[in-house]
């Protein structure tokens, strides 16, 4: 629904429909009720053109809607938007100057100014350049949340030290730099894309739906996203600004947490559907090969941990035939995949 509401073509069709209706109503008052009276030709011609155009737009929209409601199309659109967020995040990270490795808490003799959240909602944007610009020189601010997190009114949003000379003004300026919305969005929140894809896979694996094909497609899309995400520069936890301003973001998600969020719940639900578990094992092996070949070996332990736990879960799953379990272990553990004839 979120995609349909924001779709430009949907907005255009609705605008055409409303505009045609309003125009026709306005033209009606210039048409006389007498049988011999002539209707204004130019106005009637414009009304007919608008009506036919609107009908064509509605037919095209219904065709687009029918294709857009397919699960594969929904999954692809979520993944495409996630790629844009990853690229934007990487571009922003390249513009940021990593800050000093300072303590996350101030010394005991330094005073702290607490900036509370002004409302309940989801943190959708927290641009570092705006936060640093709102600080006085030689000041450290610690962001106590992250984009994609839910925060409650009056909960601690930021901590600032040393205390500025005008704390109320600084609080007001810092509060305005963080956007809190009623709904969660993917503006700066890559994790929300993973969450949506995982939810689709979990629904597909539920007993009520039982659609392993859709779950497998989600697993493959998650693998494609993680290929990019694990080899892309992540925003630094400490950012240096002008005049010795420093921003600390200790709650930003790490690549290990992204791996857990992408695969953990699917790993719990997939052992009864061995086809999905096999696809997940292949994706994890693919990611292991990819991070090794690109020099990002720091992600290997987290990926291996997910693969090892998946193998243990499948071995412990009751009701599976020993030959099926053996074949799964060959795919998950052997350097040669008997199904794909692919070496590591």
- pTM of the prediction? 0.82
Summarised one tens digit per residue, pLDDT across range 9-60 is: 888 888 999 999 998 888 887 776 665 556 678 888 888 899 999 999 888 8
β strands within 47-108, DSSP E = 97-98
> What are the backbone angles phi and psi of residue 293, rounded to the nearest 5°?
-70, -25
Q: Tell me what pLDDT residue 82 has.
A: 93
Which tens digits make up the pLDDT trace of 283-313?
999 999 999 999 999 999 999 999 999 999 9
Segment holding 239, helix H or strand E: strand 238-240
Instruction: Compute how many other C-beta atoms are within 10 angstroms of the C-beta atom of residue 4.
Output: 15
Q: What interhelical angle do 212-229 and 255-269 show, nearest 10?
A: 170
Task: Give the N- to C-terminal CA distance of the chain in Å, as an integer.
Answer: 41
How far is residue 202's CA from residue 219's CA, in Å, rounded to a whole number?
Answer: 11
Give whole-number Cα distances, 304 to 96, 276, 291, in Å.
32, 18, 12
């Amino acid at each position: 629904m979120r995609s349909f509401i924001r779709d430009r073509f949907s907005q255009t069709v609705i605008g055409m429909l409303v505009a045609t209706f309003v125009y026709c109503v306005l033209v009606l008052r210039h048409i006389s009720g007498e049988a011999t009276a002539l209707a204004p030709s130019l106005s009637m011609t414009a009304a007919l053109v608008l009506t036919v155009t609107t009908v064509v737009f509605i037919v095209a929209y219904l065709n687009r809607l029918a294709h857009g409601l397919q699960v594969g199309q929904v999954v692809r659109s979520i993944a495409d938007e996630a790629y844009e967020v990853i690229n934007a995040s990487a571009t922003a990270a390249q513009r940021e100057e990593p800050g000093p490795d300072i303590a996350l808490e101030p010394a005991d003799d330094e005073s702290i100014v607490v900036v509370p959240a002004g409302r309940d909602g989801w943190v959708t944007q927290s641009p570092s350049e705006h936060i640093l610009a709102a600080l006085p020189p030689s000041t450290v601010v610690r962001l106590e949340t992250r984009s994609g997190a839910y925060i409650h009114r009056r909960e601690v949003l930021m901590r600032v030290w040393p205390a500025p000379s005008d704390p109320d003004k600084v609080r007001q300026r810092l509060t305005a730099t963080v956007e809190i919305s009623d709904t969660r969005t993917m503006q700066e929140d890559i994790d929300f894309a993973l969450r949506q894809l995982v939810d689709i896979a979990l629904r597909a694996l539920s007993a009520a739906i039982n659609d392993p094909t859709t779950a497998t497609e989600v697993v493959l899309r998650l693998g494609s996203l993680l290929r990019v995400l694990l080899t892309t520069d992540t925003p630094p936890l400490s950012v240096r600004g002008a005049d010795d301003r420093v921003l600390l973001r200790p709650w930003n998600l790490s690549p290990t947490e992204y791996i857990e969020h992408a695969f953990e719940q699917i790993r719990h639900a997939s052992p009864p559907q061995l086809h999905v578990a096999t696809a997940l094992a292949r994706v994890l092996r693919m990611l292991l090969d990819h991070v090794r070949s690109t020099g990002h070996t720091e992600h290997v332990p987290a990926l291996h941990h997910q693969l090892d736990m998946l193998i243990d879960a499948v071995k412990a799953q009751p009701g599976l035939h020993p030959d099926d379990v053996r074949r799964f272990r060959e795919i998950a553990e052997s350097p040669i995949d008997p199904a794909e004839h692919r070496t590591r």
